[in-house]
Amino acid sequence: MLWNSIAINTILFFGGVYGVASRKDSEVRVTGSLCAYDRLKVQWTLPEGVDLETASVGLYDAGSALDAEPLHQWPGPKALGVQWTPQQEAARWRQRHAPQPPSLHCDIGGPSCSVSVTNVGWDPDRRRLEVHFDGPTNTPTFLSSSGDRATSPSRSSSSEGEKSAIPLSAALSIHPMPTRLLTAPFWETSSKLVVLVDFPTDQRAIADAFADGTAFARVVLDPAPTDSNALPPDGKTFYDSQEGIARAPGTSEGILEGGERALRGQFSVRLGEVGRPLVLRLWAGSGVQTLHDTISSEAQVKVSGAVENIDSNAAAEDTASSSGSASSRPLASPAAESTLFAVSLCADETSETEAAPVVLHSLGPVTPPSTTSRTQKKSNNPNDHHDSTKSGTSTSGGALNPKPFWDPKGVFALTGLRPLVLPSASLPSTGTGSWSFSCWLWIADPPKGAFRTLLFKGSGQGGDLARTPSAWLHPVRVIGARYDTMGTYMYSHGLRVSLVSSILTTYFGGSFLFNPERVLCLY
């Protein structure tokens, strides 16, 4: 029985008391005298057959009247108001030892240590999916259709709750998900999960998904989103974990919008653990240029320089180099407008199954904008709709809305520990001062009683914190017709948008996902 031996701890705030364990017809004198703030630990056992409804444990004053007070009149006038019942204690015990919802935590870091999916790969020869994390996990074991359990090698001493096997889909979302698994997913290393795909139909579906770039993997969020909302509206490009940026094969990340602003750029490509040579490619318009083909270990690769005539494929120069060095050779002409170029890693000429994350560290200096001036008309209508998908169309007042100067593709999943920062040097140096920010947003966590920053412009440091303007999520659920789920408050004070002297920062106090297309656009 759970309640056969239950330790009870309390702190006594009274001097000179006796502790008595009582079950109507019995008592146990615990100690003769206790001082204030003494910690009294009472361990008692109820014999089987005791009616739990009538059993209780309490403390009595140590006065001489104790013996005179009939215990069967529990709690009685001398009781000090400290009372437990076995039922309550048993319920607490069950709650403490109940299996916890599946979530990902580091073995060494505890719950506050989060891990990220760095990449997901498909090995057609070995017919298996590989999900790589950026650190060791203690993800619960998985239960296969045959009932077998797979265990993380680093979790031999896990608690009873953590050892509970769970369905794969409860902790890890993979698209496409195999319809049936004969063998449970297993941890080949503490940070690498392997899912064997047995059936040809599943294998073909996965191969197709990797070929067209729709495959992704995601660890579960806590609380896990409902199935109906699990997928972004556009499942393409990469997907990710609680935090950080992951990249699925067949996609590109770190796209610079050419046009009139970011004609000079710099990508810093961080390679994770890769087992075979990778190819670094540069796309711009219809041109594809292989920049580097011998990247076989962790390295920093930079692509630097201006873009020049990339569409004509005339001057796509080799500007990639390892170990952080960079070239300044031009890639395209500053006169070219709307040139879109991207950097991607490929495992070979045809697939990108081992492609590593591409991290955009910073953009290079920007060129002054053209003479086209954005004039925005003052509007006090909060319902004015600014739709990022209508790039090039008019906004309020008929002003031309230019294409976004930063328009990355993919999903940024951030918890607040790792904000997404656009360096000051990456922002336009001049303009009217008005600007917009749009993205697809997924708010994973409900309000938790504190303001959560969605985004702000400024350094976020110093006495004034320099967060002007900014957007916040309200700390409480607002009941009402208008903000029935969550309120987003935008404050704007002294707004003189001079982006050259500020840092645009998005900082997230909860779990937020930004999703393509036009994930995160700055205008």
Partner 1 sequence: MKVAMRASMGEANPDLGADSIGALPLQEWVHVAFTFENRTAAATEGHPFTYG
Which residues bind to partner 1, rule: CB under 8 A?
225-226, 229, 232-233, 376, 378-388, 395, 432-444, 446, 450-453, 455-457, 464-473, 478, 482-497, 507, 509, 515
Q: In terms of CB distance, is 172 or 513 closer to partner 1?
A: 513
To the nearest whole angstrom, how small is the minimum distance from the Cβ of residue 455 to partner 1? 8
Q: Count other Cβ atoms within 10 Å, centred on residue 274.
A: 19
To the nearest whole angstrom, how small is the minimum distance from the Cβ of residue 440 to partner 1? 5
Q: Which two tokens stand for residue 149?
A: 């359990």
Q: DSSP assignment, residue 404?
A: P
The torsion angles phi and psi of 388, rounded to 5 degrees, stand at: -70, -20
Q: In terms of CB distance, is 13 or 491 closer to partner 1?
A: 491
Q: In terms of CB distance, is 353 or 388 closer to partner 1?
A: 388
To the nearest whole angstrom, how small is the minimum distance from the Cβ of residue 242 to partner 1? 14
Question: b vs e for 144-169, b when ≥16 Cβ sit within 10 Å of the residue's Cβ?
Answer: beeeeebbbebbeebeeebebbbebe
Q: What is the spatial distance between Cα 439 and Cα 407, in angstroms, rounded to a whole number?
A: 10
To the nearest whole angstrom, how small is the minimum distance from the Cβ of residue 146 to partner 1? 33
Q: What is the spatial distance between Cα 521 and Cα 523, in angstroms, rounded to a whole number?
A: 6
Q: Which helix (H) or strand (E) holds 210?
A: helix 200-212
Q: In terms of CB distance, is 1 or 490 closer to partner 1?
A: 490
Q: In terms of CB distance, is 314 or 495 closer to partner 1?
A: 495
Q: In terms of CB distance, is 394 or 432 closer to partner 1?
A: 432
Q: In terms of CB distance, is 2 or 450 closer to partner 1?
A: 450
To the nearest whole angstrom, how small is the minimum distance from the Cβ of residue 518 to partner 1? 9
To the nearest whole angstrom, how small is the minimum distance from the Cβ of residue 189 to partner 1? 32
SS3 state of residue 164? coil
To the nearest whole angstrom, how small is the minimum distance from the Cβ of residue 464 to partner 1? 5
Q: What is the spatial distance between Cα 356 and Cα 376, in angstroms, rounded to a whole number?
A: 41
Q: DSSP assignment, residue 59?
A: E
Q: In terms of CB distance, is 266 or 395 closer to partner 1?
A: 395
Q: How many residues does the chain have?
A: 523
Assess contact for 298 and 272: CB atoms under 8 A: yes
Side-chain half-sphere CA neighbours of 288 within 13 A = 8
SS3 state of residue 20? strand
Assess contact for 25 and 51: CB atoms under 8 A: no
Residue tagged 């990340």 (tokens): 253
Residue 349: exposed, middle, or buried by beta-carbon count in 10 A (0-12, 13-18, 19+)?
exposed
To the nearest whole angstrom, how small is the minimum distance from the Cβ of residue 398 to partner 1? 15
Q: Count other Cβ atoms within 10 Å, centred on residue 10.
A: 15
To the nearest whole angstrom, how small is the minimum distance from the Cβ of residue 165 to partner 1? 26
Q: In terms of CB distance, is 344 or 438 closer to partner 1?
A: 438
Query: Residue 181: CB partners within 8 Å, gap ≥ 6?
Result: 144, 145, 168, 195, 196, 197, 198
